Structure 1
């Protein structure tokens, strides 16, 4: 299939070719085959060349996709109040993973200051040099913000992750006639191609009811994201031991519980690429210049968290979470009579909450230690669907 996509500038194309050569060399060093997870890791995170570690703009009109904080400040303002309820039960600290342009942090910090929500420190873990520079410029007026290269060893407070899990490398597996196969990557005639090998049993073990799936069924499994949940658990447990205070992680992303993730209609998996606001299925197109994502299996994430010692605090659609957290109240702080200001905000709320937009496809998973969401979230909770 020939993709009809915008052409990159020469410098970007040269960087992509350099990354392609680096990945091809990795394949040669590993007897002609690497896992798709390793390919995705290099395409997204190879130092200076990967999509997230390189220098190209990722977000907004000049980037490849737009996230909820970029749509409206009401998202961050609403999240500030939800985080405030959890910080009051733990510690006045926020740790954000993958903070994008810094817009979510800006909106949360601004709302916390305006609403009197106690927040002493806002730390950001950011792997992209380009995004970190943009964040530092945008947040220069907030001395309580700092940047980290990795998880802190211990933490109490609120962890935020907006579209973080979907950017973690996934393994591809396909059901063969007699056994599951892992779909990896080879390099032939100057091109990356898929190549299947016998599958490790540990990957198959992550697929519920795998024996009932048909031959030829292709799907993703998420060992890296599951490992992330385990590391969150270790960090919160260490924080609780040190300070006596727990915390919670609020994770927004698109995906499904396992009962929907492995439906017949997803027999080709959920892998998707984003390049200059064009979505397409080819992960080998211009490595380093496009995002590669997969939908999140929220059941697998919840199980990984609970197995590691965290508590399930809540699971619901993005629409349910934001409405319970007071999104409607935030909107009505602008008078509907002021149509010029109100209508763009109302349209943004529609995009965040409509089932036809982000409202139902995006979910919110909250896990933690020693904290609870306020009562108004209880009737929204869908944890039983996991």
Structure 2
């Protein structure tokens, strides 16, 4: 889960992480210099900060996922905790939806994108192998560091798991993407007082004075770096520059919301392209996209005037994306209306949409927990506590959604049996 409370101050960064971040800063500064005085669109900057093979967060940052079994009061490890790490009950409940999908298809294949620590794969394999002894579990992950961790964790299932380097040409089975869309690079935009759409680029702070002389009059350096006041964290050397949006971005923004001068938000064209592209390689099957986000009318609500962009560093959440390059996660909530539209554009069907809590309840999570021995109070509390976080409206239950899309599947999906919200997309 990446919805951690904002701390009053960011933590002390270890020396090794500081060195890694400084290397990332230099790499990004070089990319900006190559791009010229208007710098890099934030989407390109975010991609490099997360995925650069030499300096990106997912390429080699320190431990990325927290340890939910840490002793109470001890310092949390990693930067965030995902649902599969909180409890194996998430994967066990998800398996109850995947099982009928695989049975209906007659093809016991699963493809997981961004498998993180490998926890979800481990839990699903434990749950599904008794019924599907020929199960093939494919993983596609852009992080070599994480892929190595997954291989160590899933070594007992070596005969069933295969790591891919690229998308399959044709896949039949169940696709899983848990907290993947939120980490795809987004474009940042802002409505100007002139009701024109502007895009936020990233430039080197030290070069801003000389750059301004070369920029059009309708461009300006923005104070949105978030490190200009005495209460803010130390500056990274980067800041935002507002430039006129491209015709494609301008059109995409205007299609989603009315002009609201001063309004800033994100749009994830890369995620939309990824979902649309699934229609080319998913020959037959169901994809379950699980992430935090909203339908478009909530995402671009007038009151959400600063967007949803958030960063996560050592279990501290903050809104300064240009700080600590290479060692902090950068995410944005998902516009599920856009994802559903992208699926339709790719020739896929939208099969269901609901909250994570409703999905897990539909999959029988409470009935499964009912098999626990309540008289063993210590174990019962250990099992139930994390599940409450998965279901609580105040935590992950409502913020996280599940969107099911697919092709050539004639099956009523268990996870959407009640509370299907497709009409709200």
RMSD (CA atoms)? 1.7
Q: Which residue of 2 aligns with 1:54?
A: 60
Match of 2:148 among 113, 124, 133: 133
2-structure distance, mates of 1:336, 1:208:
54
Q: Which residue of 2 aligns with 1:100?
A: 116
Aligned residues: 376
Structure 2 residue ranges without an equivalent (≥5): 1-6, 68-76, 207-235
Match of 2:192 among 145, 160, 176: 176
Cα displacement (A) at 1:68? 0.3
Q: Which residue of 2 aligns with 1:64?
A: 79
Q: Which residue of 2 aligns with 1:243?
A: none
1-structure distance, mates of 2:141, 2:415:
33
**What pairs up with 1:357-372 in 2 under 5 angstroms?**
357-371=395-409, 372=411
Cα displacement (A) at 1:126? 1.3
2-structure distance, mates of 1:221, 1:136:
34
1-structure distance, mates of 2:134, 2:338:
32
Which SS does the other structure have where 2:58 is aligned? coil
Match of 1:9 among 11, 14, 18: 14
Preserved CA contact (<8 Å) 1:36 1:184: yes
1-structure distance, mates of 2:84, 2:415:
23
Preserved CA contact (<8 Å) 2:204 2:237: yes
Preserved CA contact (<8 Å) 1:272 1:280: yes
Q: Which residue of 2 aligns with 1:320?
A: 358
Cα displacement (A) at 1:210? 5.2
Match of 1:230 among 276, 288, 296: 276
Which SS does the other structure have where 2:339 is aligned? helix
**Residues 294/375 of structure 1: CA separation in 2 closer, same or farther (3 Å cut):** closer
Instruction: Say if 2:365 is the partner of 1:349.
Output: no
**Residues 379/56 of structure 1: CA separation in 2 closer, same or farther (3 Å cut):** same
Preserved CA contact (<8 Å) 2:256 2:296: no
**Residues 89/207 of structure 1: CA separation in 2 closer, same or farther (3 Å cut):** farther
2-structure distance, mates of 1:182, 1:107:
42
2-structure distance, mates of 1:232, 1:57:
31
Cα displacement (A) at 1:209? 5.6
Which SS does the other structure have where 1:206 is aligned? helix
**What pairs up with 1:256-275 in 2 under 5 angstroms?**
256-275=294-313
Preserved CA contact (<8 Å) 2:28 2:45: yes
1-structure distance, mates of 2:43, 2:264:
15
**Residues 3/196 of structure 1: CA separation in 2 closer, same or farther (3 Å cut):** farther
Structure 1 residue ranges without an equivalent (≥5): 241-245
2-structure distance, mates of 1:56, 1:281:
20
2-structure distance, mates of 1:185, 1:283:
11
Which SS does the other structure have where 1:282 is aligned? coil
Which SS does the other structure have where 2:202 is aligned? strand
Q: Which residue of 2 aligns with 1:193?
A: 239
Instruction: Say if 2:24 is the partner of 1:19.
Output: yes
Which SS does the other structure have where 2:193 is aligned? coil
Instruction: Say if 2:88 is the partner of 1:73.
Output: yes
Preserved CA contact (<8 Å) 1:101 1:134: yes
Q: Which residue of 2 aligns with 1:39?
A: 45
Cα displacement (A) at 1:86? 1.0
Q: Which residue of 2 aligns with 1:277?
A: 315
Q: What's the TM-score, normalizing by structure 1?
A: 0.94
